Structure formats: C-alpha cells, structure tokens
Amino acid sequence: QVQLVESGGGLVQAGGSLRLSCVASGRTFSSYAMGWFRQAPGKEREFVAAIRWSGSSTNYADSVKGRFTISRDNAKNMVYLQMNSLKPEDTAVYYCAVNRYYGSTSSTDFGSWGQGTQVTVSS
C-alpha cells in the first residue's frame, strides 16, 4: 500500500511558476507509474501528466504540454510537477496517484490518491 502526500500549491499570478511535490510511503514506490491529476470546482478530475516507474517515459495533457514537466526521484520516493507559464485555467486542486502500469490517462486506473494541493492562478 502506497500513501501519498502532495505539497507546493499556492497563489500565483498568471505567467508565474510553481513546483508541486508528492512524497510516497511504501517500499514499492519505484515499481509504480505515477500521475498528476487536477480538479477544478464543478468539473471532473482530469489527467495532467504521468511518468513511467523508471522515469524514462512521460505523457502530458495537451493543455499543459510544453509548460509542465513531471519528474521523479525514486531514491527519495518523490514525484514532482514543475508548472511554468501558469494560466488562470490551471486553477484547481492537484492530486498525485499511482498506477501499476504506465500508459493510462484515466483516473479510474489510478489509486492511492493524496489529499490534494490547491493551485490558484490570478489574472
């Protein structure tokens, strides 16, 4: 069982940057693919980015491609989301989650959800 805790959210102006972190407990962290999702008020949870267990492959939603970067440090049980050129439409609660297999962008294939961290981008 993996437990996840996100941090790093906050209030930032449009065009600014934030770096989200997700720390995992559990000795099997390095065997899982990891993903970031977000959920804005009144909207469904949506895929943001994912990374293979080895870090060798990444996948992004079209809306964040070229602006966000997902990375991981298996030695530290950490996964990160570097967010640059933020837009007001990026405002949401951001969650990290695990997936046994890399490749899916569906939230139903991910588990061990953290509590989320709020990101607010002002115009």
Helix (H) or strand (E) holding 115: none
Q: Are 65 and 105 in contact (CB under 8 A)?
A: no
pLDDT in tens, 87-103: 999 999 999 999 989 99
57: nearest Cα among 18, 104, 22, 106: 104
pLDDT at residue 119 greater than cutoff 80: yes
pLDDT at residue 26 greater than cutoff 90: no
Which residues touch 54 (CB under 8 Å, ≥6 apart)? none
pLDDT in tens, 53-96: 999 999 999 999 999 999 999 999 999 999 999 999 999 999 99
Measured CA to CA, the distance from residue 80 to residue 83 in angstroms comes to 10
